[in-house]
Amino acid sequence: MKLTLRIWRQAAPNQAGNYDSHELTKVSPDLSLLEALDQLNEQLINNGERPVNFEHDCREGICGSCGFLVNGQAHGPLAATSVCQLYLREFKDGSVLTLEPWRARAFPLIQDLMVDRSALDRLIAAGGYCSTGTGQAPDGNALPVGRQQATSAFDTATCIGCGACVASCRNASASLFVAAKLAHLGQLPQGQPERSTRAQSMQERMTQEGFGSCSSNLECEAVCPQEISADWISWMHRESLR
């Protein structure tokens, strides 16, 4: 198949950026979008040009390293799919794909499609630790947890921290990310001692990092590759009142 990749190129944060168009011909529809970028980078390197900078790691939709906008949508047009699991067969032959980085003040651009998402790490650090001693691995069942409670906690713990919720929110809010991190600990007995202080400190840090407030347009839920419900944002606000 044939594709045109219209990619945002910006060598450094303090330099002007622009879109460059590159045509790929005779590419297999079974390639992922990241593999198509790999192929493009080989061509650029062979021509003595700078390759496209983008972030990736596991390429299995697990680590959350990858992420950029595909035709204006975080992770592309498919629901519950990270960009590393987006395959070219999902697009029509001859399509033009516009690729650009996450757009958020809290995610300063590094180069091309790569942004600095360390603000999410600082949000997690602001949540502190769990003071409950859980012992060694064999002691994992020492504190009984109901099946429904454990399942609900696990649903929120699946957040991979990709930042798509921030990039898709009109206010660049990290509310869904913070809510997921609070909910997976707040529903378990090990997370109870610091439950209230954790909710306050993480929301305060969210403001300090430059994230906006929740815009209530639910785009965060729509683009989340793990399909984490925006209902947890309401749960997070109730936590801060505890």
pLDDT (tens digit per residue) in 121-158 = 999 999 998 887 766 766 666 778 889 999 999 999 99
pLDDT at 190: 86
pLDDT at 240: 80
Q: How far apart are CA 224 and CA 57, in angstroms?
A: 18
Beta bridge partners of 97: 5
Give the β-pairing of 96-100 and 3-9.
parallel
Q: How far apart are the first and last CA of the chain?
A: 56
pLDDT at 89: 97
Fold of 3-110: Ubiquitin-like (UB roll) (3.10.20)
Residue ranges per structural domain of the chain:
3-110, 117-134+143-240
Specify the residue for token string 């929120």. 156
Other C-beta atoms lying within 10 Å of the C-beta of residue 167: 25
pLDDT (tens digit per residue) in 148-197 = 999 999 999 999 999 999 999 999 999 999 999 999 999 998 899 999 89
pLDDT at 140: 61
Other C-beta atoms lying within 10 Å of the C-beta of residue 124: 14
CA atoms within 13 A on the CB side of 20: 14
Instruction: Write out the E strands in the chain.
Output: 3-9, 18-24, 69-70, 73-74, 96-100, 109-111, 114-115
pLDDT at 138: 62
Q: Which candidate, 78, 80, 98, 84, places its Cα nearest to that of 32?
A: 84
CB 91 within 8 A of CB 3: yes
Q: Mean pLDDT for the chain?
A: 94
CB 106 within 8 A of CB 51: no
> 21 φ, ψ to 5°?
-105, 135
Q: Look at domain 117-134+143-240 and name its CATH class.
A: mainly alpha
Angle 237-239-241 (CA atoms, 0-180°, nearest 5)?
80
pTM, to two decimals: 0.94
pLDDT (tens digit per residue) in 14-54 = 999 999 999 999 999 999 999 999 999 999 999 999 999 99
How many residues in total does the chain contain?
242
